[in-house]
Structure 1
Amino acid sequence: MRRKLAAGNWKMNGTSTSLAELEALAQAHPAPSVDVLICPPATLIDRAARILRESSVATGGQDCHSEMTGAHTGDISAEMLRDAGATAVILGHSERRADHGETDERVRAKARAALQAGLIAVICVGESLAEREAANTLDIIGGQLSGSIPDLVTGEQLVVAYEPIWAIGTGKVPEINEIGEVHEFIRARLERRFGAGVGRSVRLLYGGSVKPSNAAEIFAVPEVDGALVGGASLKASDFSPIITALEAA
């Protein structure tokens, strides 16, 4: 059975005062029946991991370099994330692809580094509004899956997050049947490429304007194993009901 996952991506938000939200979240969910992951900015990872060390909430990073060490000013390696206390890292988020020109090949190289460091790779895929309107969604998703995921991976090492770019931070959410179609497509592709064992064990998350008011409906969709949550993960009072909804799904 795949253990469901509620993952929070703080993006470029959060300072020292934000760490109190982690304490509140851990206190609200001392023994959740789902996995909970918070990915704060790199400046907070070490402190977040220390705060959450005795809790059931894990800490992750938002990106890593494809090399373990080297002359890469301003970058952070997967090994450094692991050393700081992270257990997972988000890779290929659409904001990284758009803002930094990250290609599928680049995401795959980063994923290899994450796996080598012992991190869970949370690989993001998703289409733009133009691609959705042109009925190219599944072609785009299929290409991203093929190009971004390394060949040698287990279900325990990989999480795939479907985040339609046009739904991120906009308040717009695809129709439930559209979410289901993409998740079923991703599952079938993973099974075809890696076999039923690995393909069925990879957790699939939905991301894009997930909030307490729509979480239960989204989590009822077949093949949705949880969510990658942006803004609603910044406050324990907003993220906690989403975790509760996932536990009830």
Structure 2
Amino acid sequence: MDRASAVALAEAVAEGAGAYPGVDVAVCPPFVYLEAVAQALVGSPVALGAQNLYPEPKGAYTGEISGPMLKDMGCRYVILGHSERRAMGESSEFVNEKVFAALECGLQPIICVGETLRQRKEGKTLAVVRRQIDGSLSGLTADQMRQCVIAYEPVWAIGTGENATPEQAEEVQSEIRRLLGERFGKDVADSVRIQYGGSVKAAIAGDIFRQPNVDGGLIGGASLKADEFLGIVAAAQKVKVGT
């Protein structure tokens, strides 16, 4: 988007989100629009997040954006390890550095994991996700893990119009919950939000969100249209209140 359309979208989301109390909503625009979108969200229940950060708080890293910069802009969340960044060569070890950097400056990391279509067809989904979980969360304490969000995003379902069935999402996300319990204990695992991301639309969001281990969505293309995005928020609200 350009600046004007980013602001218009944020204003529409901010205006509509108040109708769905109890659902936490955030938007994560590109770095260059953070300040403009932050202004559009003032007085609304919608939080601000960023799409990435660099793990060093300061220094000679031309072109990079630090966690303290994002915090200074009013960000509460930051997306880390998105599949598109992993596809560009970003390792789980580098994501892990970013997780610690985000926590250090008071940002809540949304840590993405997920398999490619080839990996799913080869039956490697759970092994891939486990490896990404192990690497991305290495060294975290239980208290630090409580401050994190996990987003399962099957790469083959992002921007393709395809998405995992509710049952496929639940299978992987229940395994993620089990892995968190194995590493951090059941109480921590039960408290961590695990989102699903991958071509979620309002028409199917409710079926996905009703799964026991799906705690919300990391929404991509559908978030670019306020009505569609707010429809997903409405679906989350219906699941939350049991209607």
Please indicate, yes or no, whether the TM-score normalized by the shorter chain is above 0.5.
yes
Deviation at 1:154, TM superposition (A): 3.4
1:1-249 matched pairs, under 5 angstroms: 13-30=1-18, 32-99=21-88, 101-150=89-138, 151-152=140-141, 153-249=143-239
TM-score scaled by length of structure 2: 0.94
- Structure with a larger share of its residues in helix: 2
Gaps of 5+ in 1: 1-12
Aligned length: 236
Q: Distance in 2 between matches of 1:198 and 1:223?
A: 14
Contact 1:155 / 1:201 at 8 angstroms: preserved in 2?
A: no
Distance 1:35 1:132, change over 3 A: same
2:103–2:144 CA contact under 8 A, matched in 1: no
The change in CA–CA distance for 1:41 and 1:53 in structure 2 (over 3 A counts) is same
| SS, match of residue 195 in structure 2 | strand
Structure 2 CA distance for aligned equivalents of residues 29 and 178 of structure 1: 29
Higher relative contact order (CA closer than 8 Å, sequence separation 6+): 1
Q: For the residues of structure 2 that align with 1:14 and 1:194, how far apart are their CA atoms?
A: 42
| Separation of aligned partners in 2, 1:57 and 1:138 | 33
How far off is 1:168 after superposition? 0.2
Between Structure 1 and Structure 2, the one with more strand by share is 1
Residues 16, 44 of structure 1: 8 Å contact kept: no
**SS of residue paired to 1:226:** coil
Distance 1:195 1:154 in 2: 13
Measure the CA separation in 2 of the matches of 1:70 and 1:155: 27
Deviation at 1:156, TM superposition (A): 4.2
Task: Identify the range of structure 1 (206-215 vs 192-201) with the bigger mean alpha-carbon deviation.
Answer: 192-201
Bigger shift: 51-60 or 136-145? 51-60
3-state SS in 1 of match to 2:213:
coil
- CA distance in 1 between counterparts of 2:33 and 2:74 reads 11
Structure 1 length as normaliser, TM-score? 0.92
Contact 1:155–1:203 at 8 Å: present in 2 too? no
Q: Deviations over 1:220-246 (max 9, x none)?
A: 111100000001111211100000000
Q: Structure 2: 5+ residue runs without aligned partners? A: none
2:70 partner letter? L
Helix, strand or coil: the match of 1:173? coil
**Conservation of the 8 A alpha-carbon contact between 1:63 and 1:91:** yes
